[in-house]
Each structure stands twice: as C-alpha cells, then as structure tokens.
C-alpha cells in the first residue's frame, strides 16, 4: 500500500474565541471532517493530535467529547511543523496496513504576544536575548537582501497578496485588504519586518481523516491521494542556522531536503505543483521558501512576486487562504489548516479564491529547531 486517501477534512475558524475551551474548538473541526467523510466517530481506529501549548493528554480530552471508543490517541509536538508531523504519523499508520481509518487533528489555544521563550530555548539563550523569533526572520531577510538585492518592496508585495487573498477566506482571523502604503508604514517589529508582514498567534483547529484505498469508496466520492508527506529535522541544532549554512557551506536548507524527498515519493517535480500553502510566519519566510521548495533558483524569489507568478491566476498561486499572515497561527493546528486549504482547492470548493484546474497541491511548514514538513496531495 503506497498511499493514504484523504476522505474528510474539517476546520474550526482561526481567531480568538474567548472562553471557548480547546476541547470544543477541536471537537468542531473533527465533527466537520466526520460529516465530510460520511462516517461516525466510532469508525476512527486511531488518532494523532498536534498541539504545543495545551496540557498533557489534550488529544484524549478533546476526542473524549465525541466518545470513548478505546482507540489509541497520541499527542504529537513539532513546533510550527506539528500539523505536518501529525499527518505523517497518521499516514504511516495507514500505509503500514495497521489501520484503515485514522484521524489527524491539530488544535491550539495560544496565549497572546510572542511565545514564552522558556518553552523553546535554554536559559543562557534567554539571558543573551536570543529568543524572539522575529529576530531570526529579520536576519534571514537582511542576509538575503545583501546577497541578492531582494527589496523591502518585494517582501511587502507578499504581505499585500496574502491580505488580499484572506478577504475571501471565511476561516481567517484577519479579512481586511491592506494597501501597500499601510503595510510599508505599519509598526516596525524587527527591521525589515513590519507589523502587517507578520502573523499573530491565535486559536483554532483543523482535522484530516485518512483511509486506506481498500475502504475509500465506502466513505467518499471525492477522494484525494496523499502522495507524500515528508518530515525532516535540521542537522544544525539551532533556530534558523540551517538557512545560513546554505550561504556559508553550500549545504541545502532542510526545507529543500524535505521537498526533494516529497517530490520523489510523489513522482512529481516543483514544475508540476498547481498551488501551494507555505509557511509565512512573516512575508519574507514565504519568499525564501519559494526558493527552498525549488519553485525558482536561489536569489530569485523576489522575481516570482514581481511577475505575479504566486498570485491567484498566476502560474503557481501561493497562500490562497491568506496564509498565516491572515489566518494567524495556532501552532498545533496551522499545518493541518494548510492541508485543509489544499484539499478544498483540489476539490474545486474554494469559491472566490479558487485556483482553476488545480490537480496537484503542496503544503509546507517550518518549525522551531529545524522541523520541516512537506506534503503533496493529488486529485
């Protein structure tokens, strides 16, 4: 058995929901996926649940709202790449032949503001002031600008595109188009990254139900093939150093390594991708991932946005959902939220943000300490 089949998808909108507990947020996403797959929770044989800020056994607590069926439920944590890592575990459970119906759920209820550095970094790093993520994003951007002439306007154009796309996503936290002037004049977070170029932590959930090919017809008339799901961790044990090593030593970034694995397993190349949802914790992250996913040569990411390639209607639309910049990032759920969007696109169910004729989609997420996942889905 080479592939798992996506039979059902569900989502809880991303945003802020007051006192609504994470258990209900997650339950709502799973309920939507179950309805989509024409099944009952009793059909689920195993579940993997991605979360980062929630308490221990939060997967069991969430799924218990749908019933106690004695299935194995495993919590998964891989920072911002947790959703993709969770999906990989679910895929492995299907492809191994152990189960025929497996649930992947991502759920999160994030605190406001920057993430508590003590959760990610050693105490010495905290004392040295090396613990706020935008620092690393900004250093990446400045290095790229120095090496390749990438401009702040190109970074701003990516934010402009994503805010425009987010208007048409009912599941996004921010649904207001921004002018280039508003983006470029928004508050500085960490030079050159400005407020409207960056994502916000929030709350939400997304659920994907995988089935084996032998039972797929029982549950869905619109199956999608999960062609590959790669999860890698950088050999460099620090936040974004893996990116710098590309400049200094010629070693490929871990995103490129993961992408090559995913392309080979799926039997496609970057030229075959019709649409993509990729990590845009800030707008420059999206630009660098154009290159690392091999959509263009290193240093040419800015040209893709200048030429309209990654716009809806362009050759390779990226972040049709508005990306994390508009959806926000509930860390445990964000990766599966990307998968949800790709599935809607391949089914032709994305409404005003639909990519016409999409048959192959890619989702990529990048997490702290070098976690990367790349997933390719085929119609």
Q: Do 188 and 213 belong together in one domain?
A: no
Same domain as 148, residue 104: no
Answer yes or no: do 84 and 209 share one domain.
yes
Residue 301 within any structural domain of the chain: yes
Q: Do both 308 and 248 map to the same domain?
A: yes
Sign of the dihedral defined by the CA atoms of residues 89, 95, 97, 102, in that order:
positive
- Contact indicator for 318, 310 with CB cutoff of 8 Å: yes
Report DSSP letters for 304-346, one per residue: HHHTTTTSTTSSS-B-TT-HHHHH-B-HHHHHHHHHHHHHHHH
- Based on the structure, what is the number of domains in the chain? 2
Note whether residue 255 is domain-resident.
yes
**Within a domain: 306:** yes
The answer to the question of residue 275 being in a domain is: yes
Question: Is the pLDDT at 351 greater than 70, yes or no?
Answer: yes
pLDDT value of residue 295: 98
Q: pLDDT tens across 122-155, in order?
A: 788 778 777 777 888 898 899 899 999 999 999 9
* 3 state DSSP class of 372: strand
Instruction: Please state the rounded mean pLDDT for residues 263-277.
Output: 98
Same domain membership, residue 247 and residue 217: no
Q: Shortest CA distance to 151 belongs to which of 295, 286, 303, 280?
A: 303
243 with 272, same domain: the answer is yes
Q: What is the pLDDT of residue 114?
A: 73
Burial 225-264 (b: 16+ CB within 10 A, else e): bbbbbbbbbbebeebbebbbbbeeeeebbbbbbbbbbbbe
Q: What is the mean pLDDT of residues 11-22?
A: 97
Whether 124 is covered by a domain: the verdict is no
* The two three-digit tokens of residue 202, written as one number: 């929030």
* Residue 291 included in any domain: yes
In this structure, which long-range contacts are made by residues 143-148, counting pairs with CB atoms below 8 Å and at least 24 apart in sequence? 143/244, 143/247, 144/284, 144/287, 144/288, 144/299, 144/301, 145/192, 147/247, 147/299, 148/298, 148/299, 148/300, 148/302
Please, is 315 exposed, middle or buried when counting C-beta atoms within 10 Å of its C-beta (0-12, 13-18, 19+)?
middle
HSE (side-chain half, CA atoms, 13 Å) at 348: 5
Residue 230 lies in a domain: yes
The answer on pLDDT for 116 being more than 80 is: no
Measured between alpha carbons, how far is 288 from 243 in angstroms, rounded to an integer?
9
Is residue 240 located within the same domain as residue 321?
yes
181 and 64 in a single domain? The answer is: no
pLDDT band at 113 (very low <50, low <70, confident <90, very high): confident
**219 and 196 assigned to the same domain:** no
Q: Does 17 share its domain with 134?
A: no
Residue at a domain's end among 192, 224, 256: 224
| Mean pLDDT (whole number) for 292-301 | 96
The helices-and-strands tally (H runs, E runs) of the chain is 14, 11
219 and 237 assigned to the same domain:
no
Domain that holds residue 106: 4-111+203-224
**Is the pLDDT confidence value at 367 over 90?**
no
Mean pLDDT of the region 286-310: 97
SS (H, E, C) 185-246: CCCEEECCEEHHHECCECEEEEEEEEECHHHHHHHCCCCEEEEEEEEEECCCCCCCHHHHHH
Radius of gyration of the chain (CA): 19
Helix (H, G, I), strand (E, B) or coil at 129: coil
34 and 146, same domain (yes or no)? no
Let me know: does 353 contact 215? Beta carbons within 8 Å. no
For residue 329, the domain's CATH number is 3.40.47.10
Where does the chain show beta strands of DSSP type E?
Answer: 4-15, 46-50, 73-76, 101-109, 188-190, 193-194, 203-211, 224-233, 275-278, 360-367, 371-378
Contact predicate 100/45, CB 8 Å: yes
* Mean pLDDT, all residues of the chain: 93
pLDDT range class, residue 249, cuts 50, 70, 90: low
Instruction: Please give the Cα distance from 158 to 164 (Å, whole number).
Output: 10
Residue 27 falls inside a structural domain: yes
């Amino acid at each position: 058995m080479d592939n798992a089949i996506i039979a059902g998808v569900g989502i809880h909108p991303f945003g802020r929901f007051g006192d609504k507990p994470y258990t209900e947020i997650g339950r709502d996403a799973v309920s939507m996926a179950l309805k989509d797959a024409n099944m009952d929770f009793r059909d689920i044989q195993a579940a993997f649940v991605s979360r980062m800020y929630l308490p221990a056994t939060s997967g069991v607590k969430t799924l218990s709202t749908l019933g106690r069926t004695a299935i194995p439920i495993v919590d998964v944590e891989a920072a911002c790449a947790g959703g993709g890592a969770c999906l990989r575990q679910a895929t492995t459970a299907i492809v191994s032949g152990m189960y025929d119906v497996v649930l992947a759920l991502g759920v999160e209820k994030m605190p406001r503001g920057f993430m508590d550095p003590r959760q990610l970094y050693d105490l010495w790093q905290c004392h040295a002031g090396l613990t706020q993520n935008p620092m690393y994003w900004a250093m990446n951007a400045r290095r790229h600008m120095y090496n390749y002439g990438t401009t702040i306007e190109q970074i701003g154009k990516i934010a402009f595109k994503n805010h425009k796309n987010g208007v048409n996503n009912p599941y996004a936290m921010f649904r207001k188009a921004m002018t280039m002037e508003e983006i470029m004049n928004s508050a500085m977070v960490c030079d050159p990254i400005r407020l409207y170029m960056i994502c916000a932590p929030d709350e939400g959930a997304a659920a994907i139900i995988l089935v084996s090919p032998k039972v797929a017809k029982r549950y869905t008339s619109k199956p999608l093939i999960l062609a590959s799901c790669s999860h890698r961790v950088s050999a460099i044990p620090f936040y974004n150093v893996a990116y710098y090593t590309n400049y200094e030593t010629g070693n490929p970034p871990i995103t490129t390594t993961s992408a090559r694995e995913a392309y080979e397993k799926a039997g496609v190349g970057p030229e075959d991708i019709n649409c993509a949802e990729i990590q845009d914790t800030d707008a420059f992250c999206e630009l660098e991932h154009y290159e690392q996913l091999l959509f263009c040569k290193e240093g040419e990411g800015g040209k893709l946005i200048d030429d309209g390639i990654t716009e809806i209607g362009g050759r390779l639309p990226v972040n049709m959902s508005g990306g994390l910049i508009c959806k926000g990032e509930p860390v445990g759920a964000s990766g599966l939220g990307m998968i949800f969007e790709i599935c809607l696109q391949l089914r032709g169910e994305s409404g005003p943000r639909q990519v016409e004729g999409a048959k192959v989609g890619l989702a990529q997420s990048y997490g702290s300490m070098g976690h990367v996942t790349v997933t390719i889905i085929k119609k």
